[in-house]
Amino acid sequence: MTHYIDQLKRLSTALYNKDFLITWEHSDDEIRAVTLVAECLKEMHRAGLSYRTFDTGLAISIFRDNSTRTRFSFASAANALGLGLADLDEVKSQIAHGETVRETANMISFLAEVIGIRDDMYIGEGNRYMREVSAAVQEGFAQGVLHQRPAVINLQCDIDHPTQTLADLLHLKTRFGSLDALRGKKIAMTWAYSPSYGKPLSVPQGIIGLMTRFGMQVSLAYPEGYGLLPDVVDHARAAAGTKGGSFTITHSMEDAFAGADVVYPKSWAPFHVMEQRTALLRKSDRQGLADLERQCLAENARHADWVCDETKMRLTAGGNALYMHCLPADISGVSCAQGEVSADVFERYRIPTYKQAGFKPFVISALIFLTRMQHPVEALASLISRNTRRNA
Amino acid sequence: MTHYIDQLKRLSTALYNKDFLITWEHSDDEIRAVTLVAECLKEMHRAGLSYRTFDTGLAISIFRDNSTRTRFSFASAANALGLGLADLDEVKSQIAHGETVRETANMISFLAEVIGIRDDMYIGEGNRYMREVSAAVQEGFAQGVLHQRPAVINLQCDIDHPTQTLADLLHLKTRFGSLDALRGKKIAMTWAYSPSYGKPLSVPQGIIGLMTRFGMQVSLAYPEGYGLLPDVVDHARAAAGTKGGSFTITHSMEDAFAGADVVYPKSWAPFHVMEQRTALLRKSDRQGLADLERQCLAENARHADWVCDETKMRLTAGGNALYMHCLPADISGVSCAQGEVSADVFERYRIPTYKQAGFKPFVISALIFLTRMQHPVEALASLISRNTRRNA
Amino acid sequence: MTHYIDQLKRLSTALYNKDFLITWEHSDDEIRAVTLVAECLKEMHRAGLSYRTFDTGLAISIFRDNSTRTRFSFASAANALGLGLADLDEVKSQIAHGETVRETANMISFLAEVIGIRDDMYIGEGNRYMREVSAAVQEGFAQGVLHQRPAVINLQCDIDHPTQTLADLLHLKTRFGSLDALRGKKIAMTWAYSPSYGKPLSVPQGIIGLMTRFGMQVSLAYPEGYGLLPDVVDHARAAAGTKGGSFTITHSMEDAFAGADVVYPKSWAPFHVMEQRTALLRKSDRQGLADLERQCLAENARHADWVCDETKMRLTAGGNALYMHCLPADISGVSCAQGEVSADVFERYRIPTYKQAGFKPFVISALIFLTRMQHPVEALASLISRNTRRNA
């Protein structure tokens, strides 16, 4: 595994005592370092080796929306590194007593190394909340309240979902052999029909924000009116321009699939709907929310043909594109009557989607490792040479 | 503690990379191995020694019914082995989004060594669910999704409660000196009156399924109409026939107690009621459930004399049978007005019932150890010789 | 850090295999030992060292009221010592089935080193419950049910809040240089206005019970009718008499602040109101509770001038008293319209109140260490000389 060390040594990173909130706030070298560390830790784990890094310390999770895979990925990553998990359940806390975020963030962090946050329900809120927590622990550390500066890790917000898209990137790297091999490959990030509404924008936004940086031809497809956050679209366009890739928007799923090497069909709610929803949620306007849902489901139903099936898959490069999904997918006839993907396409790619998800615990481990180790390359080399087995 | 190693070496077991769901699916040698490893780990713990086996790794629990002692026994066992605990709270997960069991099982297992499941509410469901999880992680492991194959451990289902009955077996082994000494001893597994209804069948079923294998004379007693799962009764009868024991059914508590060396009086709901209840729960038929409960409580009340009191205890061998209970017991005048056992009998055996329960964390540890260690005898010998103290 | 060892060696303590429930049940030497061990562990942590003491073992928490900082302090302390955390969530347990405290306490404790309990809602209940748990594990240990005797640690009850007040004592020790330097210093423990009602009495009671022992001049101030538990007041008076300090009660916040070196303004509900509330809660009398709340808020509103603002701060010694709060504070214009403290005073002392809270994880660590280590001084010396870093 020493080749990872050799590659890491060539990269310039400055993640120590920082957060990881948005992939496009980090340099290419930092993104590459995350993939290398994640691959190295995954290889150690597969070989039965422990990459325990901490003797003690807490990993704190704050989940403001339901989660299975991200919750378990974070728990797994924390455990593998030797950290104990402590979940801040806001229902059981005194936060309702009017306690400020600034204060709570410090109160939970005295022995914390990392704070993982998922907050994706409200447009304009999730990412802002993470930055508020970050500023608070930064102040606490600077003032000597905290002995160490816990890293804030974005486990999904209204803007980005970096632990997912970095796992996706590793899946692509594994499929195509290297990050450089992604150059020129076409990925279709497309909307797909779902019988539910209100799914977050973070995955499509994260994908167009990250994959454009690796010279991919990113084709974003959605029915008219299902647009993403304008700022993120601007970023994706700019990134594509400087990295030799391309970024296009189409309103035809077929256009996006045509010649694609990778397809990522997934439902989301339009940005403007999420904004309306945020306003209604704030007012606790249940009638308004019910009306919006009905209206959106009716609108969705007009696009029920946006489904990833074998007919559309035949349009892709060699009829053989890599199908990706962050899971759980809405599978026609399996998890719903009619959904994002046909049962035959999904079944063909079921195991690969599990492997895609399987990168996430190691991505999160890598993010914690790189933000908390002052000398990560030396620390990783030392873990490798230590050669401790995971069990007796 | 090396005598455990000597005894283990003589046994032929094949538990590595397997599950533990039903005691009668495992050979006598495997049952004996579980008792020996559990005793050895318990002795190490009592001596202040650590039997930590894993440097890192997760133990996942899925509780579909409330639990105190099994929850803490599983948490204790996981911790003592060095595993971190992660509870899958289905309410906080995305399982409601239509995610399949097959998929969830893999998503939570990337770094998991064991999945403990309690699911005993629905006849025909709990055990089936465990096998679905097992098949999913087996596929994931075979396909390279999972680096290791987590063991599925039954923490109580609709059929068996192996961690309880193996703890019970260890309690009997301790009381009578050896497993061989159980041959010919009479155990009365009898129904007892309770002011509640709907208690699971897994304990009486597990007891008749396990104790018949050790040549015990198993007397199952219940009022007419309170029968157990026919398949399990058939198994118990067959096991008794081949192991020199006996299995009889009586509808008199007194008959069962007569000359018994061990009594295990405990309430349960009749099998056919549990089936009706399952159907009503599936339909969310609240009125039907209320009607069924009223009807069952009225039926129970006709058998309020099925109580374990000093009068009945005098019928047992020497008037001195070992009273057993999986706890919590319905104790007349203590935890309810009138219940399974009189206060004086329970008080006499209170501390022994605590000791009976005290085997459970070590049984669960042993099951994890035997299913996850490729060479368990060598691994155990190495733990013993390592001689690490639990605290500094 | 060896000077801590030298000081500890001179103290006579007998905390091994005991609980820690009320500060005034422990000798001065024991209180001093707690502060020394806590400081030593804190210094180790700040230096990046691990004070992991246990290889395995459980720390059990029972929270009968919401909590953020105590919950995380307990989790942090357990983790730093190497214990795994297991929370007894009474909703998910079988305690509703009529299980006795005596039994549950043993069932959860087979591998437990410590049980931390918060139960402060009912006058006459919380502390009694802790003693019931303590008696149960003591019996279990004596009878051989438990291999070790878990310490019961009071994480806040109806009488005392020792982990808070010992953190407060360390904050004062740090501010004034030593425990001896507290002699003659005046501390104003005063009621303050809050827009809520029903806040527990444990902090003011704990403060007057502890600080009187260090020769401080303790001035307790509250509006007429807001008295504390008479027994605790009696104890404080007696302690002050024998330790060269003083204890006075005044009904003027200004009187208490006059010349004070330390001020601790905090809302609480009068003792007699808490008693009424306990009776109403027991009867689930919702109308009665609503009436009581309305009546109490109206009474509180008559004392809205009991606020800690710059005007009152100018009355203190040099106009520069140390402001203390257990957090979260009701800050006028920040967390409520009008509350316990003005925004300017709080902001001036915000970071110091965070540091005050920052002692708590180390106080809890010290309490666990001293109650669970048979030879704590030797054990601590060995941790120091081991010099293990917290991360690789």
Find, in chain C, the residue whose alpha carbon is nearest to that of A107: C69
Domain ranges of chain C: 2-160+360-386, 164-357
Question: Smallest CA–CA separation between C222 and chain B, in Å?
Answer: 43
Neighbours of chain B (3+ CB pairs under 8 A): A, C
Res B96: pLDDT: 46
Res A98: pLDDT: 52
Res B48: pLDDT: 97
C266 pLDDT above the threshold of 90:
yes
Residues of chain B where predicted confidence (pLDDT) is lower than 50: 96-97
Interface probe for B, chosen from A51, A68, A120, A163 (most Cβ of B below 10 Å), is: A68
Res A95: pLDDT: 52
Interface probe for C, chosen from B42, B61, B68 (most Cβ of C below 10 Å), is: B68
pTM for this model (two decimals): 0.97
Neighbours of chain C (3+ CB pairs under 8 A): A, B
C94 pLDDT above the threshold of 70:
no
CB contact under 8 A, C86 and B75: yes
Same-fold call for A2-160+360-386 versus A162-357: yes
Contact between C90 and C117 (Cβ < 8 Å) = no
How many CB atoms sit inside 10 A of residue C121's CB? 17
Q: Which of C52, C93, C147 sits opposite B67 (nearest CB)?
A: C93
CB contact under 8 A, B390 and C97: no
Interface probe for B, chosen from A49, A73, A79, A351 (most Cβ of B below 10 Å), is: A79
Q: Which of A55, A96, A99 sits opposite C50 (nearest CB)?
A: A55
Find, in chain C, the residue whose alpha carbon is nearest to that of B330: C98
Structure tokens at A333: 């006839």
Give the residue from C75, C231, C103 showing the smallest Cα distance to C158: C231
Mean pLDDT by 10 residues, chain A (392 residues): 95 98 98 98 98 98 87 97 93 58 94 96 90 97 98 97 98 98 98 91 98 97 96 96 94 98 96 87 89 92 97 97 96 93 97 98 98 98 97 86
CB contact under 8 A, A68 and B383: no
CA-based max dimension of chain A = 61
Q: Tell me which residue has tokens 């540890």.
A: B365
| Alpha carbons B143 and B141: distance in angstroms, whole number | 5
pLDDT interval class at C93 (50, 70, 90): low
C368 contacts in B (CB within 8 Å)?
none
CB contact under 8 A, C145 and B351: yes
CB contact under 8 A, B68 and C94: yes
C125 vs C263: which has the higher pLDDT: C263
Res A283: pLDDT: 87
How many CB atoms sit inside 10 A of residue B267's CB? 25
Find, in chain B, the residue whose alpha carbon is nearest to that of A332: B98
C319 pLDDT above the threshold of 80:
yes
Contact between C145 and B358 (Cβ < 8 Å) = yes
Q: Which secondary-structure segment (H or E) carries A154?
A: strand A151-157
Question: Smallest CA–CA separation between B149 and chain A, in Å?
Answer: 12
Provide the CA B166 distance to its chain's centre, in angstroms: 6
CB contact under 8 A, B68 and C98: no
pLDDT interval class at C249 (50, 70, 90): very high
Query: For domain A2-160+360-386, which CATH number applies: 3.40.50.1370, 3.40.50.12160, 3.40.50.620, 1.10.10.60?
Result: 3.40.50.1370
Interface probe for A, chosen from B103, B104, B115 (most Cβ of A below 10 Å), is: B103
B113 contacts in A (CB within 8 Å)?
391
| Alpha carbons A57 and A236: distance in angstroms, whole number | 37
CB contact under 8 A, B54 and A80: no
| Alpha carbons C233 and C219: distance in angstroms, whole number | 12
CB contact under 8 A, B111 and A79: yes
pLDDT tens digits, residue range A25-65?
999 999 999 999 999 999 999 999 999 999 999 999 999 88
Question: Smallest CA–CA separation between C329 and chain A, in Å?
Answer: 8
pLDDT tens digits, residue range A258-312?
999 999 999 999 888 888 888 888 888 999 999 999 999 999 999 999 999 999 9
| Alpha carbons C73 and C379: distance in angstroms, whole number | 22
Res A96: pLDDT: 46
Give the residue from B15, B109, B130 showing the smallest Cα distance to B63: B130
Q: Tell me which residue has tokens 């008696």.
A: C135
Chain B residues with at least one Cβ partner in A under 8 Å:
52-58, 60, 84, 86, 88, 92-100, 103-104, 106-108, 110-113, 140, 143-147, 372-373, 379, 382-383
Alpha helices by DSSP H, C143-270: 162-176, 202-211, 230-242, 253-257
ipTM of the prediction: 0.96
Which CATH fold would you assign to the domain C164-357?
A: Rossmann fold (3.40.50)
Q: Tell me which residue has tokens 């989004």.
A: B97
Question: Smallest CA–CA separation between C203 and chain B, in Å?
Answer: 32
Q: Tell me which residue has tokens 């010694």.
A: C317
Burial class (CB in 10 A: 0-12, 13-18, 19+), A319: exposed
| Alpha carbons B308 and B323: distance in angstroms, whole number | 9
Q: Which of A45, A85, A355 sits opposite B84 (nearest CB)?
A: A85
| Alpha carbons C309 and C326: distance in angstroms, whole number | 17
Q: Say what percent of chain C tops pLDDT 90.
A: 86
The set of residues, in sequence order, having a beta carbon less than 8 Å from that of B100 and lying 6+ positions away, is A328, A334, A335
Find, in chain C, the residue whose alpha carbon is nearest to that of B47: C147
Q: Tell me which residue has tokens 């209170």.
A: B350
What is chain A's length? 392
Res C383: pLDDT: 97
C306 pLDDT above the threshold of 60:
yes
Instruction: Choose the weakest-confidence range: A250-259, B70-79, C266-275, C297-306.
Output: C266-275
Burial class (CB in 10 A: 0-12, 13-18, 19+), C177: exposed
A196 contacts in B (CB within 8 Å)?
97
**Residue/partner pairs of B243-247 with CB below 8 Å, 24 or more apart:** B243/B212, B243/B213, B243/B214, B243/B215, B244/B183, B244/B215, B245/B183, B245/B184, B245/B211, B245/B212, B245/B213, B245/B214, B245/B215, B245/B216, B245/B217, B245/B218, B246/B217, B246/B218, B247/B208, B247/B212, B247/B218, B247/B220
Interface probe for B, chosen from C111, C138, C370 (most Cβ of B below 10 Å), is: C111
Q: Say what percent of chain C tops pLDDT 70.
A: 98
| Alpha carbons C120 and C129: distance in angstroms, whole number | 10
The set of residues, in sequence order, having a beta carbon less than 8 Å from that of C242 and lying 6+ positions away, is none
Query: For domain A162-357, which CATH number applies: 3.30.70.240, 3.40.50.1370, 3.30.70.580, 3.10.20.30?
Result: 3.40.50.1370
| Alpha carbons C166 and C34: distance in angstroms, whole number | 8
Q: Which of B56, B100, B143 sits opposite A79 (nearest CB)?
A: B56
Q: What dihedral angle (degrees, nearest 10) is formed by the CA atoms of A306, A307, A312, A318?
A: 120
